Structure 1
Amino acid sequence: MKTILEALYRGQINPDEVIVPSQPEYRSVSRQVSAQTVQWRERLGEEAFRELEEYFDLCDSASSMHVEAAFLHGFRLGANLLIEVMSNREELVF
């Protein structure tokens, strides 16, 4: 049996590909986004809509960078919490 660490190293664990928000309204909001995308494409025409999509791609890239940083920070904080608990340390580790 592989360890989680081995699977992560080998690229067999991809959390970003399997995460689906658990809020009940997620699917409804997702459908609304799709419907409005079609409406905006019809209103703007292909060229203007393509430019808008490029803008949204930039926004998505910035958001992805933020989410990655938040994940790393949270993971490190959790690991430090485990170190503190397991070592029975009282000082704050950053």
Structure 2
Amino acid sequence: MPIYEYQCSACGHQMEALQRISDAPLTDCPECKEAGLRKKISAAGFRLKGGGWYETDFKTGSKKNLAGDAAKPKADKPAGDKAKAS
């Protein structure tokens, strides 16, 4: 669940609230009891860095296949490739 920042336009009180995205915004200030809370726009508390997310990052066991592995057909060896017995 995201953390939203609020500031009261009546008294200036600032606060954070853990809410679902579908929840209605808070309006009543817990300090002055006025309906003056407004959501603040703030930066996210994390940053994604690096080359990106990989298919295998969150898979375990035999599920760690790569997307390209399923698309590559296995090459059959011709019958003449067997080692000759001397």
TM range (shorter): under 0.3
Which one has the bigger helix percentage? 1
Q: TM-score, normalised by structure 1?
A: 0.24
Q: TM-score, normalised by structure 2?
A: 0.25
Larger Rg: 2
